[in-house]
Each structure stands twice: as C-alpha cells, then as structure tokens.
Amino acid sequence: GAVVSQHPSWVICKSGTSVKIECRSLDFQATTMFWYRQFPKQSLMLMATSNEGSKATYEQGVEKDKFLINHASLTLSTLTVTSAHPEDSSFYICSASRAEYEQYFGPGTRLTVT
C-alpha cells in the first residue's frame, strides 16, 4: 500500500511554454500533498503544501504565479510550471500524506527546458 504515481516521468519543453505534472495517490486518500524540487546531488527542497479543496501554501522564495498547484481531489494534485525557462529544469517530486506525519513519494518527473 501507499503508492504514489507521477506523470509524466520526464518532459522536454521549449522556453516560454507551460508544463503540467500530475501526482496521484493510487491506493489511499491523501489529505495533504507536497511538491519538492531536487537539483543534482542536492537534497529535496519543499516548494509547496496543498490540501484538497484549498489553496496551496508556498515556501518562501517560491513564485506562486509560476508554479501553479491544484489539489482537485483526495487522490490528485497537479503542478503547472508556467512560462518555463531553462533555470526551471530540475527533478520535481510529489509526496502524499496518509498518516499525520508519514509521507510517501512519487517516482519524480525530470523537466528539461530548452
């Protein structure tokens, strides 16, 4: 149990376009979902926390207008990178919380902006 999926697993897009990444909890209902960003050989940095049906809470320094998060249901959250630029290229990972403190992570999405 506690399986989280992400789609797509990798995406290449042109500078200025938008990209949507989906995160789904497959076998449990997630009250809270999280979006992280990870640069090579660095740790995970929390970008935002989202609860179903409410606005996401963004970490300091994360542009909410650039990284749009929608948590439409207890099993689906989406991250849209708007007007992507090469510096947005990174590994994006979502996680879903089933118990109060435990998080289960998706496999990640590799975004490359050319």
Partner 1 sequence: EDQVTQSPEALRLQEGESSSLNCSYTVSGLRGLFWYRQDPGKGPEFLFTLYSAGEEKEKERLKATLTKKESFLHITAPKPEDSATYLCAVRGTDKLIFGTGTRLQVFP
Instruction: Provide the binding-site residues for partner 1, judged by CB under 8 A.
Output: 2, 4, 6, 34, 42-44, 46, 49, 91, 93, 95, 101-108, 110
Nearest to 91 by CA among 2, 21, 15, 14: 21
Q: How far is the CB of 83 from partner 1 (least distance, A)?
A: 26
Closer by beta carbon to partner 1, 67 or else 104: 104
Closer by beta carbon to partner 1, 81 or else 83: 81
Q: How far is the CB of 89 from partner 1 (least distance, A)?
A: 14
Q: How far is the CB of 55 from partner 1 (least distance, A)?
A: 16
